[in-house]
Amino acid sequence: MVNKEQVEGKATEAKGKITGDDSEELKGKVKKKYGDAKEKAKDLADDAASKVNDTLDKKDKEDQ
Q: What is the pTM (predicted TM-score) of this model?
A: 0.76
> Which pLDDT does position 64 carry in this prediction?
77
Burial class from Cβ neighbours inside 10 Å (0-12, 13-18, 19+) for residue 52 reads exposed
User: What value does the mean pLDDT take over residues 31-53?
Assistant: 97
Under the banding of pLDDT at 50, 70 and 90, the label for residue 26 is: very high
Per-residue model confidence as pLDDT tens digits over 6-24: 999 999 999 999 999 999 9
Q: Residues of the chain with pLDDT > 90: what percent?
A: 88
pLDDT attached to residue 1: 84
Comparing CA positions, the residue from 9, 40, 38, 42 lying closest to residue 26 is 9
Instruction: For residues 49 and 25, give the distance between their C-alpha atoms in angstroms, rounded to a whole number.
Output: 36
d(CA 59, CA 33): 39
Q: Report the 10 Å Cβ neighbour count for 12.
A: 20
